[in-house]
A and B are shown apart, each in its own frame.
Chain A
């Protein structure tokens, strides 16, 4: 491995350590104690929160904003793919010009385009611009650039340094800004399911 690869994986390890600290803190704080007698099932509420409760049919944030929602989904799928490839690259470098690199590169390019689209939307839409702070732009930019750089590196390995340097910055930024939502998202859905499940609001067969 080159020095910049070591640097990136070192940053990744540091990021994991700090995120583990966040996670341990959450676990130690534990779930809320609720003395009110339950009217429904917490387990069913949590299951609903992670399944039907996230369905685009049930969420206005999705069905009223389908293009943004779809772009967000693709962007996040691209991110997961990039992380997967990032981990695979620890032990195996696929030969360039084969389907093992061309297909992921194409998918990552689409993901990066979606990320860029969301970033541009944030910059040009007054509503979002007024809601945003520098972290919102930096976080999106780093993830989008990482996907794009990985796509480029898979096709043209000599451009790999851009990817490794970008991911180094990304991992160092990750635990401090909004990217932490990668972890807190699951905790938020858990609490949401807990709240609505215990009160018998979720699961709900009829919402409209």
Chain B
């Protein structure tokens, strides 16, 4: 093992910004009662998938190098060296067997922030250059091209122009319906690059909502990517670079509001983590399009007809938006107003199970088999609702849910919240 990289990794454990890391490293009592709160353990029933076991991988290294007892009596304290074997196990367990869904955290008997420790371990691996290649490639694409799918600007513009034509066909020549690079607008809207790449109709859906609400908004062709996969690779410097670009673009466009597209981790990474990556609060308001759509509905700026969305709808709560982002009720209020019949999954809200695509899992094809196995829990949840449509305000979840749909033969439709609202819009 490269000693320089090892020392950098160990510094992550000894470099305390505040009392949080030290607290989490010192608190787990190995009660093992977190096991059933983890979808990996529920799917595989193997000890290595217990959240406490993942915590132990990180804390055992910390004890070995940072505590008196761990340095002098490692065997008694379960303190372990950071060597090649340990690093491989860390990679497999912290990247390949945790979707950072945070579900185990509120259920921990002590209250250990398990996902925080997993991210700490990932940060160590990042320092050692051991981020899975597929995930690192996604981060690199964002760093090098400005979006994680490396979509060239002209290709993006072509896609937007195509959607603009569709909207012009529907509403007449009152556009632009998707304003590009217009400074001084009230809202700068962001996108998950999956939208221009695979789901352009979801851009059109949001544009219809903006049009109905009479919003002053724009997209930027230079920087529209809401995602930040460095949040998953846990490289703080990379995460800060990606976040800074969006902050700079909002400032350059002079927008009062930055509205985050339907992307769980992107929302969290920008709304909650980016100000801390950058060490300063944002000089503009940041909100998700879920909150914005509810605002439009409550202010009467848009009107919806639930009969336009017949059938039984259920809702998948994206972990980063709900459990780690506090957006819990708005999507429910919106759905209840916009669809014929809404049925909750069990459990739901902050207790909902991850779809399995979080934590960068969708980007890491190395772990595809595991990802689809743990998704069985979500498939069962969906099946039990009897719903024909699964709605989720997250494009990452949409992708995973579509794969679950095919893999487990659920025969459901998967939609974003904006698509459902757009379908229900009434234009006076």
Which of A59, A69, A132 is most buried by chain B, counting CB atoms within 10 A of its CB?
A: A59
A190 proximity list for chain B (CB < 8 A): 23
Q: A134-B78, A185-B27 are in contact. Are A36 and B275 (CB under 8 A)?
A: yes
Q: Residue B23 contacts which of A26, A37, A39 (CB distance < 8 angstroms)?
A: A26
Do the beta carbons of B77 and A26 come within 8 Å of each other?
Answer: no
Q: A127-B32, A200-B326 are in contact. Are A187 and B349 (CB under 8 A)?
A: no
Do the beta carbons of B26 and A180 come within 8 Å of each other?
Answer: yes
B281 proximity list for chain A (CB < 8 A): 35-37
Q: What residue in chain B is nearest A201 (Cβ atoms)? A: B326
The 8 A CB mask of A1-34 against B (1 = contact, 0 = none) is 0000000000000000000001001110111111
Q: What's the tally of chain A residues with a CB closer than 8 Å to chain B?
A: 62
Q: A36-B275, A188-B111 are in contact. Are A131 and B56 (CB under 8 A)?
A: yes
Q: Residue A131 contacts which of B22, B32, B112 (CB distance < 8 angstroms)?
A: B32
Which of A40, A49, A189 is most buried by chain B, counting CB atoms within 10 A of its CB?
A: A189
C-alpha spacing A49/B106, complex, angstroms: 9
B37 at the interface (CB under 8 A from A): yes
CB B410 to nearest CB in A, in angstroms, measures 23
Do the beta carbons of A61 and B34 come within 8 Å of each other?
Answer: yes
Do the beta carbons of A199 and B27 come within 8 Å of each other?
Answer: no
Which of B108, B281, B326 is most buried by chain A, counting CB atoms within 10 A of its CB?
A: B326
CB B359 to nearest CB in A, in angstroms, measures 17
Do the beta carbons of A35 and B275 come within 8 Å of each other?
Answer: yes
C-alpha spacing A99/B282, complex, angstroms: 64
Do the beta carbons of B350 and A131 come within 8 Å of each other?
Answer: no
The 8 A CB mask of B94-114 against A (1 = contact, 0 = none) is 000000000001111111110
Q: What residue in chain B is nearest A63 (Cβ atoms)? A: B107
Do the beta carbons of B50 and A127 come within 8 Å of each other?
Answer: yes
CB B226 to nearest CB in A, in angstroms, measures 16
Chain A interface main SS type: helix
Do the beta carbons of B22 and A26 come within 8 Å of each other?
Answer: yes
A65 at the interface (CB under 8 A from B): yes
B409 at the interface (CB under 8 A from A): no
Do the beta carbons of B348 and A208 come within 8 Å of each other?
Answer: yes
Question: What 9 pairs across the A-B complex have the smallest Cβ distances?
Answer: A133-B78, A200-B326, A61-B33, A35-B275, A29-B19, A176-B69, A192-B111, A199-B326, A187-B23
CB A168 to nearest CB in B, in angstroms, measures 18
Which of A36, A189, A190 is most buried by chain B, counting CB atoms within 10 A of its CB?
A: A36
A132 proximity list for chain B (CB < 8 A): 30, 78
Which of A64, A125, A192 is most buried by chain B, counting CB atoms within 10 A of its CB?
A: A192
A96 at the interface (CB under 8 A from B): no
Q: A188-B111, A191-B113 are in contact. Are A134 and B75 (CB under 8 A)?
A: yes
Q: A181-B26, A187-B19, A195-B113 are in contact. Are A36 and B36 (CB under 8 A)?
A: no
Q: A134-B76, A138-B76, A191-B23 are in contact. Are A64 and B36 (CB under 8 A)?
A: yes
Q: What residue in chain B is nearest A193 (Cβ atoms)? A: B111
Q: Residue B350 contacts which of A34, A59, A126, A201 (CB distance < 8 angstroms)?
A: A201
Q: Residue A40 contacts which of B22, B323, B326 (CB distance < 8 angstroms)?
A: B326
B370 at the interface (CB under 8 A from A): no
Do the beta carbons of B17 and A32 come within 8 Å of each other?
Answer: yes
C-alpha spacing A186/B393, complex, angstroms: 35
Do the beta carbons of A31 and B18 come within 8 Å of each other?
Answer: yes
Do the beta carbons of A68 and B276 come within 8 Å of each other?
Answer: no
B52 proximity list for chain A (CB < 8 A): 131
